[in-house]
């Protein structure tokens, strides 16, 4: 399929961009004596949930935020809690289930889950017991059919064979591994090392465990990345033959992302080099049989997303591009984002405040933004990055 590529950095955003941009209700001045923005957001969310309760046959989707990782990668903008003890994650899992129950009190338990995603950090930071508790607990609340589109973000440096087998057994069909870049000099610059052999190995184990799709995530614009190194990474990725490849662009914002201060700004590629690397990625991946379906995502030509695009049925929501029918999306977890009827609802990002809200029996939504429907049928020619909902990347 031939596509006209538009460099995504011209559009003022990038994949993985959080919902904290302009337009959320907490940027609106509060009239004296009026409800606080968080209260307004919660009231609007309650109304949206009441509407959903009146349509029990409507399917739903779940975006479950797991904000834990082994370490905070130096380029990562997300709110990550690194190297947390088991008790903290246990408590988080229980709070997620409390949030699910709170939501089911509003919308009822008859909705079927068509799509669910676990990530936004590293889902495999959860132990096997915690994963079973979480997924089992969600299944007690809502029905999840065997063909639900369930996806999970895993860190290839930490995932084990038994975790992958368990995740597949729990119903996950797509696994996404954060690879970032395979070049040793780039990996040294960003403090995140793993060999091609390791990525190869986890992909093999994921396939043997029965995962139907593997997505590998790469990033353009990192320190020490050069067109030559980038091409070598792309060629190695093509050799691994993942079903999908997602690209994102690094944004160097050390003033607001303190962890990035440890990166060498002098080693960043220029804008021209970054653009050349985006064009190179398109050329290498499309020559190897991938289709660019929009924004950051390439998929093999026979992927269901490629065929959905050809049928005009491809949609994008907070989780990813999807071929599933439109469904109200509920965000669960600290900083999680949901989408109902063209409005995005963002949960409290600070973990203790999110947890406190649930302990008080209050929905933890604190911001809302109305958007042009990112779920509308669309293709790459109609997409712009400004209209994309944020996406959880591993």
Positions in the binding site for ligand SF4 (CB under 6 A): 69, 72-73, 76, 78, 80, 121-122, 155, 178, 394
- Taking the complex as a whole, how short is the minimal distance between the CB of residue 325 and ligand SF4, in angstroms? 29
Q: Which is nearer to ligand SF4, 178 or 380 (CB)?
A: 178
319/370 Cα distance (integer angstroms): 17
- Taking the complex as a whole, how short is the minimal distance between the CB of residue 394 and ligand SF4, in angstroms? 5
Residues counted in the chain: 394
Q: Which is nearer to ligand SF4, 107 or 219 (CB)?
A: 219
> Which residues, listed in sequence order, are joined to residue 330 by a DSSP beta bridge?
62
User: Which 8-state DSSP code applies to residue 30?
Assistant: P
**Torsion sign (Cα): 327, 330, 335, 341:** positive
Q: Which is nearer to ligand SF4, 141 or 246 (CB)?
A: 246
- Taking the complex as a whole, how short is the minimal distance between the CB of residue 69 and ligand SF4, in angstroms? 3
- Taking the complex as a whole, how short is the minimal distance between the CB of residue 263 and ligand SF4, in angstroms? 13
- Taking the complex as a whole, how short is the minimal distance between the CB of residue 155 and ligand SF4, in angstroms? 5
Q: Which is nearer to ligand SF4, 58 or 217 (CB)?
A: 217
Q: Which is nearer to ligand SF4, 124 or 375 (CB)?
A: 124
Q: Which is nearer to ligand SF4, 78 or 168 (CB)?
A: 78
- Taking the complex as a whole, how short is the minimal distance between the CB of residue 66 and ligand SF4, in angstroms? 9
Give me the DSSP letters along 328-343: EEEEESTT-EEEETTE
- Taking the complex as a whole, how short is the minimal distance between the CB of residue 167 and ligand SF4, in angstroms? 16
Give me the DSSP letters along 65-107: E--EESS--TT--S--EES--HHHHHHHHHHHHHHHHHHHHHH
For tokens 């990625």, what's the residue?
A: 281
357/393 Cα distance (integer angstroms): 26
Q: Which is nearer to ligand SF4, 75 or 354 (CB)?
A: 75
337/314 Cα distance (integer angstroms): 20
- Taking the complex as a whole, how short is the minimal distance between the CB of residue 121 and ligand SF4, in angstroms? 5
User: Which 8-state DSSP code applies to residue 253?
Assistant: -
Q: Which is nearer to ligand SF4, 225 or 394 (CB)?
A: 394
**Among 144, 135, 143, 54, residue whose Cα is nearest residue 96:** 135
3-state secondary structure of 252: coil
Burial state string for 4-34 with b = 16 or more CB within 10 A and e = fewer than 16: eeeebbeeebbbbbebbeeebbbeeeeeeee
Q: Which is nearer to ligand SF4, 201 or 341 (CB)?
A: 201
Which two structure tokens, joined as six digits, stand for 140? 């007690």
Q: Which is nearer to ligand SF4, 65 or 281 (CB)?
A: 65
Secondary structure element (H or E) that encloses residue 143, with its range: none
Backbone angles phi, psi at 23, to 5 degrees: 110, -20
CB 308 within 8 A of CB 332: no
How far CA 233 is from CA of 224, 345, 393, in Å, comes to 13, 37, 19
For tokens 């996406």, what's the residue?
A: 391
- Taking the complex as a whole, how short is the minimal distance between the CB of residue 67 and ligand SF4, in angstroms? 8
- Taking the complex as a whole, how short is the minimal distance between the CB of residue 77 and ligand SF4, in angstroms? 8
């Amino acid at each position: 399929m031939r596509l006209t590529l538009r460099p995504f950095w011209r559009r003022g955003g990038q994949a993985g961009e959080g919902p904290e941009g302009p337009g959320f209700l907490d940027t609106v001045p509060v009239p004296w004596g009026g409800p606080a923005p968080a209260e307004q957001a919660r009231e609007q969310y309650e109304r949206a949930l009441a509407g959903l309760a009146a349509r029990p046959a409507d399917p739903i989707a779940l975006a479950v935020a797991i904000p834990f990782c082994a370490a905070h990668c130096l380029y990562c903008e997300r709110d990550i809690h690194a190297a947390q003890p088991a008790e903290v994650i246990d408590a988080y899992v229980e709070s997620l289930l409390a949030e699910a129950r709170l939501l089911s009190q509003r919308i009822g338990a008859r909705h079927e889950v068509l799509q669910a995603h676990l990530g936004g950090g590293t889902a495999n930071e959860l132990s096997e017991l915690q994963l079973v508790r979480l997924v089992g607990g969600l299944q007690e609340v809502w029905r999840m059919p065997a063909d639900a589109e369930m996806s999970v973000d895993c860190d290839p440096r930490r995932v084990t064979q038994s975790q992958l087998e368990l995740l597949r057994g729990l119903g996950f069909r797509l696994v996404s591994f954060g690879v970032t870049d395979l070049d040793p000099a780039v990996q040294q610059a960003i403090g995140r090392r793993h060999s091609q052999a390791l990525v190869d190995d986890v992909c093999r184990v994921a396939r043997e465990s029965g995962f139907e799709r593997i997505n590998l995530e790469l990033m353009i614009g990192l320190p020490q990345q050069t067109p030559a190194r980038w091409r070598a990474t792309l060629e190695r990725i093509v050799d691994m033959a993942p079903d999908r490849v997602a690209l994102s662009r690094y944004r160097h914002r050390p003033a607001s992302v303190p962890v990035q201060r440890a990166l060498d700004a002098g080693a960043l590629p220029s804008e021209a080099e970054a653009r050349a690397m985006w064009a190179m990625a398109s050329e290498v991946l499309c020559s190897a049989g991938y289709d660019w379906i929009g924004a950051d995502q390439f998929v093999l030509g026979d992927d269901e997303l490629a065929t959905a695009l050809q049928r005009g049925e491809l949609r994008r929501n907070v989780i990813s591009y999807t071929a599933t029918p439109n469904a109200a999306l509920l965000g669960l977890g600290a900083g999680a984002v949901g989408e109902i009827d063209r409005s995005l609802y963002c949960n409290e990002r600070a973990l203790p405040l999110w947890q406190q809200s649930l302990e008080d029996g209050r929905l933890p939504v604190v911001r809302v933004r109305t958007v042009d429907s990112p779920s509308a049928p669309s293709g790459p020619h109609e997409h712009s990055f400004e209209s994309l909902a944020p996406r959880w990347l591993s």
